[in-house]
Amino acid sequence: MKIVIVGGVAAGLSAASQMTRLAPQAQVIVLEKGSDVSYAACSMPYNLATPGTPVEKLYALSLDTIQKERGIDYRLNHEVTQIDPVRQEVAVSDLVNRKDYREAYDFLVVATGNQSNRLTTPGFDGEDVFYFRTLDDTRRVKNFIREKSPKQVVMIGSGYTNLEVAEVLFEMNIKPVLIDKAALILPMMTAETREKVLDKIAEKQLDFFVSTDVLEKSGSVVKTSAGDFDADLVIVAAGVRPNTKLFADAGGELGVAGAVKVDRYLRTNFDTIFSGGDCAEHYVRQLGTNGYVPLGPVANKQGRLVGNNIINNQDMRMFFGIDQTAVFKFFDLTVGSTGLHEKQLQDLGKSYAKVSVDSPTRGYFPGGGRMRIVLLFEKGSGTLFGGEIVGQDVVAKRLDILATAIYNQMTVFELAELDLSYAPPYSPVWDPILVAANQAIKQV
């Protein structure tokens, strides 16, 4: 059996690895148009902070390991330019040797990832404007910082990634100016969580402008509806969109957010073509339908399942889905959410209640802090719909308690019955999760 995988980052390499693990005799070819092997994209902001650590340290595996130990025919700088789903072959350009060829497949995996939305505003095509999405973007930003020693960065967009990058640059003494055209930062979060992020932005005295249009860049000045800003460097994170042109041109069907439409087995509209990762849809358990939540863990999980479902094609498993869990670091805060967002609940017309509870994260033991927990739950039944935590100390893995609760469709009554661990270095006697659950019970 011969499998061709288009794209070799998270989902692509996961799929390939699972296939050679399950079927060592299978021929697995990964065609990656870039010159970097699969890398830890989410770690890119933090690599900026360590000039002595090359970006290649983020490689998930060396090319040698991928090829020799895993037995994957992993080809860098090979771009797929066309898919022919009838003949079951792809057209490939070897970008280094400038050679075109065709590669037949029994199964194809579309793992083409996503791309940054580009700014078309005048002046944003210079060498001091960066999109921070690929390892090569990181390499270029890092080189620019080393060579030009920028003092001020204008950051367009204030999503997770730009907030992470803003912190890193701030700590490197590169002053961030954050510009967002939207009226609200983190629009999927509740106002209660957003408030804490805004408080931190104020505490750090970051320049931050919402409802602001970027008008043009002229030399090193970024002109906006909120005024002009000097920019030694510009980083744009104005959303992403799935890379689907190749697939769509071949007659492939697209779905939510323009991503590759997949069924629960991660099959596309072609029986021999599967898809996963940032280019594909992701099944959201609570919605009972596909959404688009391009994050690292889901790409890895989908990739692995695609590998399984191709090799065990007569015994496929359904993708079990996600609960939209996401988290990021912003200075001493961790900000995370799991389950349905308040806005989704409103759009779905759900009858819900919300509590927001501020708690210390430890009692007597030093090193603790404070956290805010927001619970969203159904009026009447108390079923937990979603949770957010923003604060210090251990936030992410407390959020995972809520993610586990949501997986199990627990009510806030049940949440209050959990036997959570307690010792002074880790928690107050009543863990903040239990405190929040007990408050929620009063609002059911």
Binding site for a second copy (CB under 8 A): 10, 40, 42-43, 46-47, 57-58, 164, 295-298, 300, 320-329, 334, 336, 338, 363-365, 394, 396-401, 403-405, 407-408, 410, 414, 417-427, 429-431, 433
| Least spacing, CB of residue 426 vs a second copy, in Å | 4
Distance separating alpha carbons of residues 138 and 120, to the nearest angstrom: 21
Nearer to a second copy, 151 or 317 (CB): 317
Nearer to a second copy, 85 or 307 (CB): 307
| Least spacing, CB of residue 318 vs a second copy, in Å | 10
Contact 216, 231 (CB under 8 A): no
Distance separating alpha carbons of residues 152 and 203, to the nearest angstrom: 18
Nearer to a second copy, 84 or 400 (CB): 400
Alpha-carbon torsion 139, 205, 116, 9, what sign?
positive
Contact 156, 61 (CB under 8 A): no
| Least spacing, CB of residue 153 vs a second copy, in Å | 21
Contact 378, 386 (CB under 8 A): no
Cα Rg of the chain, angstroms: 23
Q: Which of 33, 127, 37 lies closest to 80, judged by CA?
A: 33
| Least spacing, CB of residue 150 vs a second copy, in Å | 24
| Least spacing, CB of residue 424 vs a second copy, in Å | 4
Nearer to a second copy, 222 or 305 (CB): 305
Nearer to a second copy, 129 or 403 (CB): 403
DSSP codes joined into one string, 89-106: EEEEEETTTTEEEEEE-S
Distance separating alpha carbons of residues 437 and 321, to the nearest angstrom: 26
| Least spacing, CB of residue 406 vs a second copy, in Å | 8
Half-sphere exposure of 335 (CA within 13 A, CB side): 26
| Least spacing, CB of residue 384 vs a second copy, in Å | 11
Q: How far is CA 196 from CA 79, 109, 266, 408, in A?
A: 44, 42, 38, 29
| Least spacing, CB of residue 143 vs a second copy, in Å | 20
Which position has the token pair 């700014």?
Answer: 119
| Least spacing, CB of residue 370 vs a second copy, in Å | 16
Q: Which of 300, 174, 325 lies closest to 235, judged by CA?
A: 174
Half-sphere exposure of 444 (CA within 13 A, CB side): 17
- Total residues found in the chain within this entry: 444
Distance separating alpha carbons of residues 129 and 285, to the nearest angstrom: 38
Distance separating alpha carbons of residues 247 and 84, to the nearest angstrom: 10
Q: Which of 181, 155, 192 lies closest to 374, judged by CA?
A: 192
Nearer to a second copy, 101 or 320 (CB): 320
